[in-house]
Chain A
Amino acid sequence: MPELLKTPLNAVHRALGAKMVDFGGWDMPVQYPTGIINEHVAVRTKVGLFDVSHMGEIRVKGPQAMAFLDWLTPNAVVKLAHGQIHYTAFLYENGTFVDDLLLHKIADDHFLLVVNASNVDKDFAWVKKHAAKWDVEVTNESDATGQVALQGPLSIDVLQPLVDIDLSQIKYYWFAFGNFKGMPAMFARTGYTGEDGFEVYCPAEKTAWVWNELMESGKPHGLVPTGLGCRNTLRLEAKMALYGHEIDDTTNALEADLGWIIKLNKGEFLGREALATLKEQGLGRKLVGFRMLEKRDIARDHMDVLVDGKKAGYVTSGSPSTTCGFNLGLAYVPISNAPLGSRIHVDIRGKACEAEVIPTPFYKRAK
């Protein structure tokens, strides 16, 4: 087996007593000694700190950067202002996913794409391949870039004392450059938990120092280190897609309920034709949120969804929900079972357990 990849914070996690797991080839903390539930609650009520240095950063620069990315991705890049971010995707010709990503517009000729750790090589090759016809320069800065995510309602209180810009001026899904205790860094008001928060981008070799400064600043606010375990339960409550679960190269953007990132009217883009056709034909299945009706039934990833006793779909993510107080999940179901209130069954170890299709996101923070 190849050796697992390590982020610049690997030793820090071990010193904190984290339980480490193989996450797509990366040696990552799944939880720290206080456990997933405590970490989950800390992010919802106070603040938590995630190591997301394994994420990939791809920089696209050049005179045609904006036109190129507007063609390569389905969301409307031309509508972004300088300093603005949007959620988007790389799509195959048939409308399924190469990956999902955050696209940061630094200038008309300069963008930063943040992609999933396990897809970095595939994504970089994808962008490079298509860039050949455009006047752009594409660089993979993943190894040189450290990234931590501060998430939770008290995030701003933890980060503000350490930086020289007014963080309250950064709107949700915008970013700014500033100094972190004198070191240049990028601060993006984004996250993967459904809470307010900031993702701090810095040179890889400075990541441990940034982490420790944040931990120290966060002490009076109840900051705890948070791992991939609660990251998954938090993002599921907020109904944020996870590559390899809700989306992959077998699911298209429309059935994944991500129609809002597909701007069919903006002009040509990769995958547009397939998606326009799909939209016209109508979808056969759709991703929905559900809750298990019995308290004891917990749906898990990959379990079958049954309709009239027959396999009709599958669970993409399922878990108990600490915030909601019931067991929930996301699943692909036939379009006829997608309306709110529909009853479906999940095959839990051979037993057909009843579930109800309910509105998503399951959790939405108070603004």
Chain B
Amino acid sequence: MYPADVKYTKNHEYLKPLGDGTALVGITHYAQEALGDVVFVDMPEVGAKFKAGDEFGTVESVKTVSEIFIPSACEVIEINGELEAHPEYVNEDAYGKGWMLKVKLDGGLNSELLDAAAYEALVSAESH
């Protein structure tokens, strides 16, 4: 539930570096569980540039809507078009086929991102 090759935000987004200056962005397993069944993901255009912490879209679940924020400064180079037909991928496989954006990182990684252990501690504090 907290893969080690992924960095986390306190808002429950993740960033998964791919090793070539690009990364995948999505919401964590914990976030999808809290939201419940995801029915729509509103995503930015390819080419959009963001600073760390910028809102980049929204996730609508049956229950509620949630804003989603960029973990680290970047430019969007691809969006996961599969989510339009299959928003449930976010629930089924948050770190895999439920990815939302592929981005080109702009400079180094945001130093405020959490590693798996720190994120796990955050989540366990929130859920108790």
Chain B residues near A298 (CB-CB < 8 A): 39-40, 60, 65
**Contact between A300 and B64, CB atoms less than 8 A apart:** yes
Is A203 an interface position by the 8 A CB rule? no
Task: Spot the interface stretch: A1-9, A30-38, A103-111, A176-184.
Answer: A30-38
Interchain CA distance A229-B39 in the complex, whole Å: 14
Residue of B nearest to A21 (CB): B63
**Contact between A296 and B42, CB atoms less than 8 A apart:** yes
Summarize A's interface: helix, strand, loop or mixed. mixed
**Contact between A37 and B62, CB atoms less than 8 A apart:** yes
Chain B residues near A300 (CB-CB < 8 A): 64-65
1/0 contact string of B10-34 vs chain A (CB within 8 Å): 0000000000000000000000010
Interchain CA distance A197-B70 in the complex, whole Å: 46
Is A319 an interface position by the 8 A CB rule? yes
**Contact between A320 and B36, CB atoms less than 8 A apart:** no
**Contact between B40 and A233, CB atoms less than 8 A apart:** no
Q: CB within 8 Å of B: which of A331-367?
A: 349
**Contact between B58 and A320, CB atoms less than 8 A apart:** no
Interchain CA distance A291-B62 in the complex, whole Å: 15
**Contact between B63 and A229, CB atoms less than 8 A apart:** yes
Q: What count of chain A residues pass the 8 Å CB interface test?
A: 16
Given contacts A36-B37, A37-B37, contact A229 B64 (CB under 8 A): no
Interchain CA distance A349-B33 in the complex, whole Å: 23
Given contacts A36-B37, A37-B37, contact A229 B62 (CB under 8 A): yes
A30 to chain B, nearest CB (A): 7
**Contact between B36 and A31, CB atoms less than 8 A apart:** yes
Q: CB within 8 Å of A: which of B34-86?
A: 36-37, 39-40, 42, 58, 60, 62-65
1/0 contact string of A21-57 vs chain B (CB within 8 Å): 0000000001100011100100000000000000000
Could you pull out 29 A-B pairs where Cβ atoms are within 8 angstroms?
Answer: A19-B33, A19-B36, A30-B63, A31-B36, A35-B36, A35-B37, A35-B91, A36-B36, A36-B62, A36-B63, A37-B37, A37-B62, A229-B62, A229-B63, A233-B62, A296-B40, A296-B42, A298-B39, A298-B40, A298-B60, A298-B65, A300-B64, A300-B65, A319-B62, A320-B40, A320-B60, A320-B62, A322-B62, A349-B58
